[in-house]
Chains A and B, each alone.
Chain A
Amino acid sequence: MLELRAVTKRYGDRLAVDNLSLSVEPGKMFGFVGTNGAGKTTTMRILMGVLEPDAGSVCWNGRPADADARRGFGYMPEERGLYPKMRIRDQLIYLARLRGTSPEKAASAVDELLAEFGLSERAQDRVEQLSLGNQQRVQLAAALVHEPTFLVLDEPFSGLDPVGVDALAHILDQRVRRGVGVLFSSHQLDLVERLCDAVGIIGAGRLVASGTVEGLRTKGRLRRYRLLVSASPGWSQGLPGVSVVADDRTPEGTASTLELADGVDPQALLDTARAAGSVHEFRPLSPSLTELFREAVSESPSNGQADAASDLDAEQVVA
């Protein structure tokens, strides 16, 4: 199991990561979401040991992660890059060897991976000769080549077409089935929602929400239902524990969004609706991760300010 315990990192006056704790179990996929500059990349770099935290620790299976433990992790940095002039196969073998794989094992693992990614015929090509999509595949192969015990992927889906996204999701899923833990960041929240067992929402360096997507949906939140009933607005008034969020007149009748207090049976609501008129639509409304995300980051107090500061930094980086 991978754990971050109360990790803090500052750059000068700015707190990039603030007392952040999280854990990812083997065979689970953890989605890391947050606005630009919220501290995702810094957290991942600390996780990989590229950066050292000012406080807190990274633990692997209960013990502080040392260089040897981290060498077992696979990493896809935000700043992609491989040696442009080195042949793909040699390059992957080299990276596997830097992570402690024996030459023979590295060679066979690379050949298997290249076959899996459909790149066997390009094995002797230089990286710079590949299309961007294929370069991205080689980059992922670089993270997988030593059969990692844990995967840290910074924005692995960015820049992929839908077919590429599915292929990558499939590859990750296979690793997860073998018991590899995965932590990845993404701005594609629908993807995170689809793939991840758990998510963490980070804002201004703090983990503002974390847990399963289902858990985040229900936690501290009343259930909402949407109904389309051929009745006039206000049909649901007087029902105990039901409050009206919206009641809009439509050609078919009234489209209502209702919030149910704890203990209210939705079937009782349906009965009332049927008594009022014919029911064209009746479904629970669960917030998407995108909505949860917006909610979470807008609740985070100092968020706006931190964003402005980090955006500035990001620009400096590119320049």
Chain B
Amino acid sequence: MSAPLSFTAATRTVATRELTERLRDKSFWMSTVITLVILGAVLFMPKLFGDDNTFTVAYAGSGADAVADAADAQAKPLGMTLKRAEHPDEAAARKAVADGKLDAYVGANKVIVKNELDDQLGIVLQNAHRQVVSTEQLHQQGLDPGAVQAAQTVTPLTVDALEPTDPKAEQRGQVAFIGSIVLYGQIIGYCMWVAFGIVEEKASRVVELILSAISTKALLAGKILGIGLLGFLQLTLIATFGLFLGNATGMLQVSSDLLVPVGFVLLWFLLGYAFYSAVFAASAARVSRQEELQNVIGPANMLIMVSFFASFYVNFNPDSPISRLLGMIPPFSALCAPVRMARGTAPWWETGLALGLMLAAIGFLVVAGARIYEGAILRMGAKISLKDAWFGGRRRAVDAAA
């Protein structure tokens, strides 16, 4: 009744199981919801707390109305809203400022604020004040303020940048940085699933039954592909949700420009996952109990952590020589490259080199990882040394036999 089963068919069967079993797992949906909630909170937070562009200001003195009008006129192009408050006297205004109900109280020749004058509000108020007072002074000296103003109206210098920075580079970089943080979670989470899955098969001993039917490589490939596909789908869902929410809250102006960093994050998920899943799989195959897993995957975990912190450095110093190196050299490039590349400031050869080096590293790790996996997977009991696993292929495996 059984028929020949190709490597591809065996791999696909294993991958399908990995995917469907995990889709049925409550913890998968929990983690998806939690990730979305956190991402939502990050995108909503500024909306809830930091509506920084509305200020309450009170004016005093004879020119109060004029200053207020001038300030409103100044604020509008900057996207600020000024709400005018009335206070009977300076004492009442001081109290309101102290209580935080009033952002600024503009009196004759002074501004009263609580801690410091907001930069933008400062510019608006100083300009408004200068305009009103200078008009008054011109009047006093018998000059026509209109003529003076006309004389002072000069077309601003046009800027001709030789190497212009893309105004959207910063936004792309920020999106890629948030993406990189999510990427860190995805890579570590899904590689852990690969590791857990492998130890589960060893610990439950089901692996011998499976390997009596299909090849070791088909089992390994199916597991990594199935779990990786799920991770990719989840990451796509998170990215779509993030862009949608960012657009809805006005945090991001979603355009085709923002698909660049998102695309980089997805691409580097594939590369980073391929890199680390091979390491995690080879490590996990060496032990037969979940308790020992932390032990063997510690170094790989550490590598991801270091890459993660390096991506912060790259985000703050995107063009430093160290950042350029971190963006090119595996394994750091897995998390650092998207941050740097999404800005569009990296020359094309850098992107190409980063991809080439990563692909070469993956090629090596997949071959070496598969060999270690093959040498260790059927050997139950104590932890298998790397050397034993390396030289222990199926031919010599199962020392434990009786």
Contacts and interface: CB of A to CB of B under 8 A. Distances in A.
Given A79-B380, A80-B205, A83-B206, A99 B213 contact: yes
A216 interface: no
Contacts of B211: 50
A36 interface: yes
B4 interface: yes
A285 B214 CA distance: 49
Interface in A36-68: 36-42, 45, 48-52, 67-68
A138 B74 CA distance: 79
Contacts of A73: 212
Contacts of A314: 400, 402
A39 B398 CA distance: 12
A41 B402 contact: yes
A86 B21 contact: yes
B212 A100 contact: no
B210 interface: yes
Nearest to B382: A319
Nearest to A102: B3
Interface string A130-164: 00000000000010001110000000000000000
Contacts of A310: 402
Interface in A73-127: 73, 75, 77-86, 90, 94-95, 97-102, 105, 109
B402 A98 contact: no
Contacts of B1: 72, 101, 105, 109, 146-147
B81 interface: no
A133 B62 CA distance: 96
A52 B395 contact: yes
B10 interface: yes
B5 A98 contact: yes
A163 B68 CA distance: 97
B402 A77 contact: no
Number of contact residues on A: which range applies? 35 or more
Given A71-B213, A98-B214, A51 B397 contact: yes
A51 B209 contact: no
A99 B5 contact: yes
Interface in B1-37: 1-5, 10, 13-14, 17, 21
A223 to B, nearest CB: 37
A72 B48 CA distance: 64
B215 interface: yes
B399 A11 contact: yes
Contacts of B200: 83-84
Interface in A4-50: 11, 16, 36-42, 45, 48-50
Given A98-B13, A316-B382, A82 B206 contact: yes
A243 B212 CA distance: 54
B256 interface: no
A146 B212 CA distance: 13
A142 B205 CA distance: 14
A268 interface: no
Contacts of A81: 204-209
B381 A316 contact: yes
A248 interface: no
Given A71-B5, A98-B214, A101-B1, A37 B402 contact: yes
A163 B271 CA distance: 55
A83 B204 contact: yes
A118 to B, nearest CB: 22
A77 B205 contact: yes
A175 interface: no
Contacts of B3: 100-102
A310 B2 CA distance: 36
B13 A316 contact: no
Given A77-B208, A98-B10, A147-B1, A67 B215 contact: yes
B147 interface: no
A109 B2 CA distance: 12
B188 to A, nearest CB: 22
Interface string B327-359: 000000000000000000000000000000000
A298 B211 CA distance: 36
Interface in B36-84: none
Best-surrounded residue of B17, B201, B208, B402 (most CB of chain A within 10 A): B402
A50 B13 contact: no
Contacts of B5: 68, 71, 98-100
B378 interface: yes
Interface in B92-143: none
B138 to A, nearest CB: 84
B300 to A, nearest CB: 25
Contacts of A16: 401
Interface of B: 1-5, 10, 13-14, 17, 21, 200-201, 204-215, 378, 380-382, 394-402
Interface of A: 11, 16, 36-42, 45, 48-52, 67-68, 70-73, 75, 77-86, 90, 94-95, 97-102, 105, 109, 142, 146-148, 310, 313-314, 316-319
22 contacts: A39-B402, A45-B398, A45-B401, A50-B208, A50-B212, A50-B394, A51-B397, A52-B394, A68-B5, A77-B208, A79-B208, A81-B209, A83-B204, A83-B206, A84-B204, A95-B210, A97-B13, A101-B1, A310-B402, A313-B401, A316-B381, A317-B402
The 5 A-B residue pairs with the shortest CB-CB distance in the complex, in nearest-first order: A81-B205, A317-B400, A100-B2, A79-B205, A147-B1
